[in-house]
Structure 1
């Protein structure tokens, strides 16, 4: 019984001493972190009046080959886009799709 009690008392002591001795000391000097300055990166906007179907397809989210060709066909039939909102006139392009891509588009 005495050996069991000593084992329960000494085992945690030796375990904690072992962990403390095996801990690696910091060999590299601790440096303060470099502050990160948030800069707003602007992505170049795509001009609806000059972009071809392939560019529209690859740049815009949710625009496939058919919708990209419809945008170019609409532009050829009705002339240059006056605003980005004019995309709503094209079949298959709704408000949600336009809102998803609005920050990528411009009209010059």
Structure 2
């Protein structure tokens, strides 16, 4: 069985030159970039980024609205307890809105 032979400096230089010419040939053989297709891809990417930005902003607004509603509810409860009244339970629509806002916030965090 033959032993491994360390390549000499000249052999390594020749191998690097061959690799360089191979890569250059591959780049020359590559078809030119279609400007219209590249512009369409860029436009789709920008539209996707804008949609994601708008989605994040909507989530932030929903979270702020939920916080404001929660704060208002706490003030109502505090005022009702100060007056000696029983607190009013949240309606189905309020519970659904709170659940949706929590879901949206959790989804945007991930």
Question: Does the pair score TM above 0.5?
Answer: no
TM-score, with structure 1 as normaliser: 0.30
> Higher helix share goes to which structure?
2
